[in-house]
Amino acid sequence: MHLSNWLIFCGVTLLVAFSPGPAVLLAVSNSMSVGPRRAMISSLGNAAGLFMVSAAAMAGLGVVLSTSAHAFMVLKLAGAAYLIYLGIKQWRSQGSVFADVQGGQGGAAPRSSWRLFGHGMTVALTNPKGILFFSALFPQFLTQDAPMLTQFAVLTGTFAAASVIAHSFYVLLARLLRKQLSDVRRTRIFNKVSGAAFVLLGLSLLRLRNKAA
């Protein structure tokens, strides 16, 4: 695996992991209802689900890597368009990223460890962001002449670790700023910065070359 590709992958992964979504909202909601430590059980379940989604995507990667340069270009454009779409959506967002956990949703959160783990896994398996990430972007960071299983473990492990780190950050943030979660103005700055970063990464993705060629 090329180091430059992995570094770009890390940047994309961190932005995707830290962008608000169902898994983040679940982590925040569980933090407010069962506490930060137990909320991370759900995040571990989410990481396990990400490995399943990645494995499903890997099933067809051999065909993708052996296709023509035109097919690779189409896939690259699709991945860049996805990142740019996320950036524009994030930039235009006007509400608080924690708005969905206001109003006392925490009482309905699962309490047992297995249910917390299973709920996090289910969110990962049904989260369009993760599915689109692996299917549209994952193949572009692989090289055909390197062991596929090793690349799968490294890239998926990187993504899962970034997700757990992101959830830990939001869980602690939610506990520290419980009274400020409804402040929309502070959140808009975050939306603008992360949205712009998504667009820049999407444009940088267009510079990737097909390492298998």
- Under the banding of pLDDT at 50, 70 and 90, the label for residue 11 is confident
pLDDT at 83 over 50: yes
Of 44-48, 52-56, 91-95, 196-200, the poorest mean pLDDT is in 91-95
What are the pLDDT digits (tens) for 50-74? Answer: 998 888 777 765 455 455 566 667 7
What is the DSSP-derived secondary structure letter of residue 91?
A: H
What are the pLDDT digits (tens) for 102-140? Answer: 444 444 444 688 888 988 888 888 765 666 677 777 777
pTM: 0.66
DSSP secondary structure string for all residues of 176-202: HSGGGTT-HHHHHHHHHHHHHHHHHHH
pLDDT at 145 over 50: yes
Task: Evaluate the CA torsion angle 16, 197, 146, 56 in order and state its sign.
Answer: positive
